[in-house]
Structure 1
Amino acid sequence: MAVPTATLATFKVPTVANEPTKSYGPGSAERAGLQAALKHLRSQVPLDIPCIVNGEEIRTGIMEKQVMPHEHKTVLCNYHNADEALVVKAIDGSLAAKHDWENTPFYDRAAIFLKAADLVATKYRYKIMAATMLGQGKNAWQAEIDSAAELVDFWRFGVKFAEELYAVQPPQNAVATWNRTEYRPLEGFVFAVSPFNFTAIGGNLAGAPVLMGNVCLWKPAPAATYASYVVYEIMREAGLPPGVIQFIPGPAPEVVGQVLKHPEFAALHFTGSTHVFRKLWRDIGNNIEHYKSYPRIVGETGGQNFHIAHKSANVTSVINNTIRAAFEYQGQKCSACSRCYFPDNLWPEIKAGLLKAHTRIHVGGVEDFKNFAGPVINDASFKKVKSYIDWAKDDTDSEIIAGGTYDDSVGYYIQPTIIVTSNPKSRTMMEEIFGPVVTIYVYKASEYEKTLDLVAHSSAYALTGALFSQDRYATILGANMLRHASGNFYINDKCTGAVVGQQPFSGGRASGTNDKAGSAAILSRFVSPRSIKETFVDLDDFVYPSNLV
């Protein structure tokens, strides 16, 4: 018989707040610290990254490399891929670890995540930023808001949201009864598939279900392997027991094939492309009769996100927010602005401002702090973005007014590109490019409502969008008509930059299941509630009073 765990108090987790961001200005201590971390990481490459299964480092010898996208001849790390046998071992190990982990009191699980957050915020801040910069092509600011601040926020706020979820209890009890709800982890294991573009997302895709008592297999994106490994090592140092998260880089057919055919597969936690997510959903559906329970499917995928300006909009704000939303991290954010709708009365001023701002965008290596934009992630991405630019050059409805050049001789560089189109349903307005390309459609200022309808219904995606207006009635109309066009909607702000605890993030339509990362809603997908009724007075007879005569 298992020894019961004493509950000697009702604990309250520490007050949480968003992690303060550092500025990395010239001469600052943080810039010096980050530069030292970059130099140190440079001196260590190429690193050797193993799989980690049941706490054991396993080197399969099935090798792949992660290169620095701004300097693609330099290998950041060589990593070992999991094969089918190792994936089976990982599944078995996670299920073996499940009993002890799900029976670990919440506050002990929470302590691990709070410690991990503090380790990121202090001891490992510059290391994980350096890994993200060199491995994923982010500049200092983009690495700071992702791999440092957002990762910390995911883990700290996750603990707070979990506490709040557990506190949701039945409001009524009949006489001599006590009703309560417990939030059990899912039966089986969770499969987390994380993307290259945000280090923090990997920590949350694996971390959120694990915080709720689940065990997890984590397949990181190949182009983010090293930063993901650092995240995993931080969680281990914080006290995460072996087997609770299995770190298994590997090719999709071998890893996914073993996971999705296992009867104990309980949930998919995914961020990536719409195409891949739909395939995984189909594969899960085709295997549905083999599972012990219906798997939870949680996914955030692509976007074709918009900015629309009303004729009353502040032009300076439109210009600056559009430059940031379209070109920060080279447009490789799921939320990046890809399509704009600007009124003809403001267009001459907006155009002049965009062109002037474009001349100030420095593009280059991530270790030169003056660079606003860096490389796209890899050769496949470079070729894809290049193909859209080449298409626009030949399209009679499109005009490239800035950028439009590219060079992959050293790194995968695409100059930030601005296209103006006379066709609101052109390829670059409709298809996700995932690169530094934004397309603008100029509409008649008198046709604001008609254009809102176009924005609301012309895209298969519904992730983020922004409306710029100084007219409150125009704002109300836009907010109402665009209600289903995005899961995150911004008024007089750019369509990127959701902050944990402030704007829970996700979208609908082809953009995902809209389960809102950075909120209690996402945690509820990884629990299976049990309602408990305890009666304190014994039943003396089965007959109801209505049965008496």
Structure 2
Amino acid sequence: MVAEPATAPSPTTAPRRAGLPAWLTPARIERLAAHVSAAPDAGRVTTNAPYTGAPLAGLPVSAPTDVEDAFARARIAQKTWAATPLSARRRILLRFHDLVLARQDEVLDLMQAENGKTRRDAFLEVTDIAITSRYYARTAAKYLEPKRRRGAIPLLTHTTELRHPKGVVAVISPWNYPLSMAAGDALPALMAGNAVVQKPDTQTALSALWALGLMREAGLPAGVWQMVIGRGSSIGGALMDNADFMMFTGSTASGRRIARDAGERLIGASLELGGKNAMIVLDDADIDQAADGAVAACFPSAGQLCVSIERLYVAESLWDRFVAAFVARTGRLRIGAAFDYGVDVGSLTTPSQLDTVTAHVDDAVAKGATVLAGGKARPDLGPLFYEPTILTGVTPDMTLYAEETFGPVVSIYPYRDVEEAIELANSTPYGLNASVWSGDGARGRAVAARVRAGTVNVNEAFAAAWGSIDAPMGGMGDSGLGRRHGADGILKYTEAQTVAHQRVQGFYPPARISPETWAALLTGALKAMKAAGLR
């Protein structure tokens, strides 16, 4: 049996500096809200600042008819936008890239104000969107321009693959990464020649609306990208009924409903859903590096990250030393509210998320789990703060053993050998992200290839795979369908068309040759093509 390490002290409390930045006035918020597609007399919904619980923004609420009107405008705008040369679309995305970097302080403040994350976590979203806009601006032509394909009959069949935009894409984006998930999924759809009607989560809509405003400033025509605000139960049906493609990031339960409805309409859908991501520390891992990596894997954005780690498996031979190092590092994290880079862990975003985290931890402790670090809310810092938490002794009868917590909570387990570690990592219906730590890169990659997850990072938490934007990112199993990034990230927003021009002679015999003779000639030609190595 491995020994239980001593629990860590409570995380360091950072100075509380949670007042809104001076520039973020009601007038500025209202200018952002004006980008919402809603009737002039629409009702309003109020969002609250997670740091303090105080009211933040009053946003117009879109009705189903507003969604239908947005799609009608988008269809008109999309025809012109699709006819716009790729070079012109490219220039708009590159201008947007520059504007995001130049005015990043605005959106950093917005993300912190409405999501509660730290500034360092918000900055990763800025870098993500800069990378995404530059990548698709520079690679779209390679993916979208007509491509010659091998014809049916060499020299006689001229075959071309064309890529046409789907039309109007619906994007439903979540609250946890309000810039990355909003702009990151819209940009390739726009670059492919589609229009976009988007429903960002109401709690974090300001960040998405900021991105929309910046794209229009960069030159995107009016109507090509529009946003609606409202509950899925109210306007989700209108989005589905009018969309030519659905891009959704959210819960597995909602994703199943969207997949079913998209199937009924025979439209495509890309779904990034839940996860219960695993990290494996192999017996040859560097303990200090792996412990640092575990902190980076489990607690960014207060654990409200689809690809963050919630299950951690450690080789028995390293258990005592690794757990002691991990617990000590977790105890040194600075938790608090600040619009600067002086905090390591910020707030949860919504009361319901705090309720979930609290319920999962309390249930585990009541059933015998041991808290090694954290384990409690911090109302002294703000209404939605929860300490970074490490649990051991978690068993299958506990809720957080298998269900996604989506908070700053990780359960940690010892394992005997690599086969057991891989089996444990794969013992979930989810398959979004995973992490493997080893002193031998080749060994780490070999283990990673056996983990059932859409992305697996070796000696890194999640940023290596996420930032490798030329490679696909997405989930297996209950973690979703489709991929973002790379070729898949833009081609999914297109319809493939084959145009084949047959010249001189086709597959049917000319009048002067009998069908039997023609069949013999073609048979000989097929054998000759195989002998020549032709495909």
Q: TM-score range by the shorter chain?
A: 0.7 to 0.9
The residue that corresponds to 1:388 in the other structure is: 360
Residues 1:126 and 2:105 aligned together: yes
| Matching residue within 211, 214, 221 for 2:194 | 214
Q: CA deviation at 1:153?
A: 1.2
Contact 1:157 1:518 in 2 (8 A): no
- Alignment TM-score, normalising by the size of structure 1: 0.84
The residue that corresponds to 2:430 in the other structure is: 461
| Matching residue within 137, 154, 158 for 2:136 | 158
Task: Tell me: CA distance 1:545–1:204, structure 2 relative to 1, closer, same or farther (3 Å).
Answer: farther
1:75-86 alignment runs, 5 A limit: 75-86=55-66
Contact 1:113 1:156 in 2 (8 A): yes
| Matching residue within 178, 190, 197 for 2:169 | 190
Q: CA deviation at 1:52?
A: 3.9
Contact 1:51 1:58 in 2 (8 A): no
Q: CA deviation at 1:473?
A: 7.2
Structure 1: which 5+ runs fail to align? 1-34
Counterparts of 2:495 and 2:446, CA distance in 1: 40
1:98-109 alignment runs, 5 A limit: 98-109=78-89
The residue that corresponds to 1:506 in the other structure is: 474
| Matching residue within 246, 249, 252 for 1:274 | 252
1:344-493 alignment runs, 5 A limit: 344-396=316-368, 398-408=369-379, 410-421=382-393, 423=395, 426-444=398-416, 447-456=417-426, 458-471=427-440, 474-475=443-444, 477-482=446-451, 485-493=452-460
Task: Tell me: CA distance 1:178–1:283, structure 2 relative to 1, closer, same or farther (3 Å).
Answer: closer
Write out per-residue CA displacement over residues 46-82 of structure 1, whole angstroms, 9 at most, x where no aligned residue.
Answer: 64643647xx785443111222211112x23211010
The residue that corresponds to 2:215 in the other structure is: 235
What letter corresponds to residue 216 of structure 1 in structure 2? V
Contact 2:278 2:433 in 1 (8 A): yes
Q: CA deviation at 1:167?
A: 4.5
What letter corresponds to residue 136 of structure 1 in structure 2? N
1:72 aligned counterpart, secondary structure: coil
Counterparts of 1:425 and 1:315, CA distance in 2: 30
The residue that corresponds to 2:232 in the other structure is: 252
The residue that corresponds to 1:28 in the other structure is: none
Contact 2:240 2:246 in 1 (8 A): no
What letter corresponds to residue 373 of structure 2 in structure 1? A
1:126 aligned counterpart, secondary structure: helix
Aligned length: 494
The residue that corresponds to 2:13 in the other structure is: none
What letter corresponds to residue 279 of structure 1 in structure 2? R
Counterparts of 2:60 and 2:485, CA distance in 1: 31
Q: CA deviation at 1:465?
A: 0.6
- Alignment TM-score, normalising by the size of structure 2: 0.86
Contact 1:51 1:248 in 2 (8 A): no
Q: CA deviation at 1:189?
A: 2.1
Write out per-residue CA displacement over residues 301-354 of structure 1, whole angstroms, 9 at most, x where no aligned residue.
Answer: 111111111211111111100011101110111001100011221111112112
Once the two structures are overlaid, the 10-residue window that deviates more, 489-498 or 324-333, is 489-498
Task: Tell me: CA distance 1:221–1:490, structure 2 relative to 1, closer, same or farther (3 Å).
Answer: same
Counterparts of 2:186 and 2:298, CA distance in 1: 29
Write out per-residue CA displacement over residues 448-504 of structure 1, whole angstroms, 9 at most, x where no aligned residue.
Answer: 312312222x1111111111122567536523432xx11111112223452153554
What letter corresponds to residue 307 of structure 2 in structure 1? S
Counterparts of 1:342 and 1:255, CA distance in 2: 45
Counterparts of 1:382 and 1:36, CA distance in 2: 21
Task: Tell me: CA distance 1:363–1:171, structure 2 relative to 1, closer, same or farther (3 Å).
Answer: same
Counterparts of 1:221 and 1:144, CA distance in 2: 20
Counterparts of 1:426 and 1:387, CA distance in 2: 11
Contact 1:266 1:295 in 2 (8 A): yes
Counterparts of 2:439 and 2:259, CA distance in 1: 43
Contact 2:35 2:213 in 1 (8 A): no
What letter corresponds to residue 418 of structure 2 in structure 1? Y
Task: Tell me: CA distance 1:514–1:408, structure 2 relative to 1, closer, same or farther (3 Å).
Answer: farther
| Matching residue within 72, 82, 94 for 2:53 | 72
Structure 2: which 5+ runs fail to align? 1-17, 518-535
Contact 1:114 1:155 in 2 (8 A): yes
Q: CA deviation at 1:234?
A: 0.5
1:489 aligned counterpart, secondary structure: strand
1:400 aligned counterpart, secondary structure: strand
